[in-house]
């Protein structure tokens, strides 16, 4: 199972949903657990407070990421 924070603005849950669905379609045994209100790193015991960095480089604006046949992630445009 892959836990995800539904309020994660660093790596949004949408991509995880699509990836889990693709794995299910490929016959893999996988489940996605979403936690409402949970932010990125919510399950890290060392992080006591939520840190938001609006200008941080993340995958939140990378809809062009794809997985190749060898499992590598790449930008489909470049």
Contacts of residue 32, Cβ cutoff 8 Å, sequence gap at least 6: 1, 2, 4, 16, 17, 20
Locate 70 and state its tokens.
């060898």
Tokens 């790596």 sit at which residue?
11
pLDDT per residue rounded down to tens, the chain (78 residues): 445 566 777 777 887 888 899 899 999 999 998 888 888 888 888 887 877 777 777 776 666 777 888 888 888 888
Q: Where are the domains of the chain?
A: 1-39
Q: For residue range 11-32, what is the model confidence (pLDDT) as tens digits?
A: 778 878 888 998 999 999 999 9
* pTM score: 0.60
| Residue 73, H or E segment | strand 73-75
């Amino acid at each position: 199972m892959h836990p995800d924070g539904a309020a994660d603005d660093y790596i949004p849950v949408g991509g995880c949903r699509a990836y889990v669905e693709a794995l299910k379609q490929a016959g893999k045994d996988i489940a996605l657990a979403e936690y409402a209100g949970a932010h990125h790193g919510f399950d890290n015991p060392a992080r006591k407070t939520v840190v938001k960095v609006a200008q941080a480089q993340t995958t939140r604006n990378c809809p062009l990421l794809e997985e190749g046949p060898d499992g590598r992630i790449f930008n489909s445009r470049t």
